A and B are shown apart, each in its own frame.
Chain A
């Protein structure tokens, strides 16, 4: 056999250059369809939400997000307390979760003995895998009684002069929901910020220490600033999770549609009202109002995320990793 005849044979069998171009194009086409599915799905989702809530939009318009009465019998719907509840519970959750998570992440990367770093990181990641309804049950059976008998009375006695810690203590409350949310988002913030801190190059650590920084000063003045944009990314991940969390919040927040100054008072969130009332929505307008709530929740989430991303983009300009990993 001569070398000249060989390529012809190969090409006849369909393994020539031409065949490869075709398979490449097909592969590329399949991947393009996969990628295009995301914006299409997104558009479909928004359209569907809009279509479902058209009735409520035409009846209530913008007043829907500025009024507070939610009365399915009288067919009056105002979602302001829901928006307030969603934002406040998420914000409080972050206030509790961020310092704790960062503390754990810094401890694990900088101070913990080598042999316990891996097991603890693993446990943290395991926490993130627990279904939210389990957190909710735990909240109802353990956390609520504990808060009602120990923590809330203490807060009331100590900080009772503030309007946030006044009024009757039921247990189910904005604060209880925020605490369970904090517990739920902590694993996310912890494990992502731990990874970001681990990826800070050793040269930065050494630079700070060689300048006479203590371990603690090195963390505060060099390591955390280096990881800043990644840590903000971790917090946003937690925020996104807190905004949309439904089950555990519904079980602990008390589900009352009003804006109260006191954190001991029950509240309501957008996700919780949808979960509670969707299966029982009797009238078209009730159904449509719930759809409208979903649309608002979607918009709030998008706005908050966009704002947070702008924040990252601003802080990471000229930074080391340009908002890497977000």
Chain B
């Protein structure tokens, strides 16, 4: 692999955008400089017990764009991702320091409503994990749980989410079938549709294609490319071509430290750090 990866230009077919309810009103006073950023990370550190996983991260994730997080195994990529929606809370011994702001609201503040946070920040996991329910019920899970829309609007919302996840044509005749009957790639797109059902602003993707075959991977990548029109996407990936193909910004993590953050084009063609170049050219990791 060379350090001059080509970045293919994709032209997504037009899709009806999912109306995103504006929640900007929740924090009216916001510094102007942060307005373009969906997520602001300020001197963020993370420990599991005595073990330090992340150390002093500071960067900004641009709104309605794809930000890729790359780095060798064990560098804390997934831990960072799971800090944004505080899924690490499940693990005893998690300690946060510093700040992560989603839309200007601190994620770690004691007053933060976890349910509201996780509704605004959706997540797609490494392995497709649909519920053993019907396809329809999987997508309707979030809206029903959080009482987002009246019951009669559910079919409409489910259809829009499935269309946005490029799955509608494949499943429209069997919405009542079990989601477990779908192929791995379809299941992963269903999980994306399920996350969209919550009408989030941010989508976190934790190596969403690592369990998929190349064709399914390509479909998900095309989907990510389309979704960034309406959503802020943060994707963790081991696949550097994937990062180069789908992302606008890239952050390179190494041993818990943010080595470099910048435009994807710059990171992959003219990395400033020697370590970054070594990683993207495959000399380690």
Contact = CB atoms under 8 A, between A and B. Distances in A.
Given A203-B125, A222-B131, A318-B178, A214 B115 contact: yes
A214 B145 CA distance: 10
B119 A212 contact: yes
Interface in B101-152: 114-119, 122-123, 125, 127, 129-133, 141-142, 145-146
Interface in A188-241: 201, 203-214, 217, 221-222, 225-226
A201 B129 CA distance: 9
A155 B114 CA distance: 43
A261 B194 CA distance: 51
Interface stretch (B85-93, B237-245, B271-279): B85-93
Nearest to B177: A318
23 contacts: A114-B92, A204-B131, A206-B123, A207-B130, A207-B194, A209-B87, A209-B90, A210-B87, A210-B118, A210-B125, A211-B118, A211-B142, A211-B194, A211-B198, A212-B114, A212-B119, A212-B146, A213-B115, A225-B131, A225-B133, A226-B131, A318-B132, A318-B180
Instruction: Give the one of B87, B119, B145, B180 with max A CB within 10 A.
Output: B145
Instruction: Give the one of A203, A207, A209, A319 with max B CB within 10 A.
Output: A207
A206 B125 contact: yes
Contacts of B90: 205-206, 209
A43 interface: no
Interface in B31-54: none
Contacts of B194: 207, 211
Contacts of A204: 129, 131
Interface in B169-199: 177-178, 180-181, 191, 194-195, 198
Instruction: Give the one of A210, A213, A222 with max B CB within 10 A.
Output: A210
Contacts of A207: 125, 129-131, 191, 194
Contacts of A16: none
A61 to B, nearest CB: 48
A313 B2 CA distance: 55
A221 B141 contact: yes
Closest 7 CB pairs of A and B: A318-B178, A203-B129, A212-B119, A210-B123, A212-B118, A320-B132, A207-B129
A211 B132 contact: no
A5 to B, nearest CB: 54
Contacts of A114: 92
Given A206-B87, A209-B118, A225 B123 contact: no
A208 B125 CA distance: 12
A206 B194 CA distance: 13
Nearest to A202: B90
Contacts of A226: 131-132
A210 B145 contact: no
B116 A212 contact: yes
A212 B115 contact: yes
Given A206-B90, A221-B145, A225-B133, 7 more contacts: A114-B92, A203-B125, A206-B129, A207-B131, A208-B141, A211-B119, A212-B117
B238 to A, nearest CB: 18
A200 B7 CA distance: 41
Instruction: Give the one of B116, B129, B146 with max A CB within 10 A.
Output: B129
B132 A212 contact: no
A119 B38 CA distance: 46
Contacts of B115: 212-214
Nearest to A206: B87
Nearest to A114: B92
Contacts of B129: 201, 203-204, 206-207
Given A225-B132, A320-B180, A213 B122 contact: no
A213 B119 CA distance: 9
Given A225-B133, A226-B132, A211 B127 contact: no
Contacts of B119: 211-212
Contacts of A320: 132, 180
Contact of A211 (B116, B145, B177, B181): B145
B100 to A, nearest CB: 16
Given A206-B90, A225-B132, A212 B142 contact: yes
